[in-house]
Amino acid sequence: MELEVRIRPNKALALVDFGELWRYRDLLSVLVWRDFATRYKQTLLGPIWFLIQPILPTIVFTLIFNKMAGLSTDGLPPFLFYLCNQIAWGYFSGNFSAISGTLLMNMNLFSKVYFPRIVVPLSTLVSSLVTLGIQLLLFFGCYVYYKFFTTIGADLQPTTAMLLLPLVVVQLAGMSLGFGLWMAALTAKYRDLQQISGVIIQLWMYGSAVVFPLSEIPAKYQTLVSLNPVTFASEATRYCLLGHGTLSWAAGVYSTAVTVAIVLSGLWIFNRTARTYVDIA
């Protein structure tokens, strides 16, 4: 008697099968390791890129936007201001870019073996957390230097808001996952969107309070800029790490609601697309 095994797509309304994810936890760890191995394989500096990635744009932004353009940094040391922003934005944008290519970049893997497709985006979030942790250690090293060895950082005072940083990281992870899943589903159908993904992320940065604080925007435009949910996350990151940020309960509730909505809708559209993507690609 032959044993017949049938693999069926998940139900449309089942956004995440946590039991199935648990059964594939070993695959998740393998994919996390794969991300590290492929990212820095055959590179000259290897993991040092973890530190170079936020430092280089921080130096450029400090020179161009603070020294040359004279943009305010809310009274904070410019280098720390931009480093803080780059770490938060780098975590969001890196996840978004990697997750948006999930279906296109893993076609060979998806066509050979079954596993929950959401495992691949989740592996990106997990591997990026390690990168984020290393970059935060770099930030705290710079923070200590400015606090105790310079005059412009003498007023820096750690606050209990630092304890809320994990919540901000969760929000950044949720937004990058949700928006990334939407882009992955769209690029699976419209391949040319992959070409403009980099342009989208660059323009998005300038509207997310990364180059300048929200307080420097005229009051009549602050509400418009705050419609971008990443703006609140940027301000909240600075508030947690540096004690300065333009925050409000309304902006926080709005940004959180958008994050939840984009994650749920992203999971739905991604699952719907992944069910038939291998058959039509």
In the prediction, which pLDDT does 13 show? Answer: 47
More confident residue, 34 or 78: 78
Q: In this model, does residue 268 exceed pLDDT 70?
A: yes
Question: How many other CB atoms are there within 10 angstroms of residue 26's CB atom?
Answer: 8
Per residue in 57-109, pLDDT (tens digit) is 999 999 999 988 888 898 899 999 999 999 999 999 999 999 998 888 877 77
- 153-173 burial, b at 16+ Cβ within 10 Å, e below that, comes to beebeeeebeeebeebbebbb
Percentage of the chain exceeding pLDDT 70: 90
Per residue in 206-236, pLDDT (tens digit) is 989 899 899 888 888 898 999 999 999 999 9
Residue 194's pLDDT band (cuts 50, 70, 90): confident
Average pLDDT of every residue of the chain: 87
- Tokens at residue 251, please? 């902006």
Rounded to whole angstroms, the Cα distance separating 278 from 281 reads 5
More confident residue, 41 or 129: 129
Rounded to whole angstroms, the Cα distance separating 231 from 220 reads 16
Rounded to whole angstroms, the Cα distance separating 99 from 127 reads 12
Residue that the structure tokens 């932004």 belong to: 61
More confident residue, 237 or 5: 237
- 234-260 burial, b at 16+ Cβ within 10 Å, e below that, comes to bbbbbbbbbbbbbeeeebeeebbebbe
In the prediction, which pLDDT does 12 show? Answer: 47
Q: Which of 2-11, 20-29, 72-81 has the lowest mean pLDDT?
A: 2-11
In the prediction, which pLDDT does 14 show? Answer: 60
Boundaries of every domain in the chain: 18-280
Helix locations, 72-218, DSSP H: 78-100, 102-105, 107-112, 119-149, 165-189, 193-206
- Taking phi first (over 0 means left), then psi (-120 to 50 degrees means alpha), and beta for anything else, what does residue 74 get? left
User: Average pLDDT for residues 130-143, to the nearest whole number?
Assistant: 93
Per residue in 245-255, pLDDT (tens digit) is 899 999 999 99
- SS3 state at 15: coil
- Local structure of residue 47 (DSSP, 8 states): G
Model-level pTM greater than 0.95? no
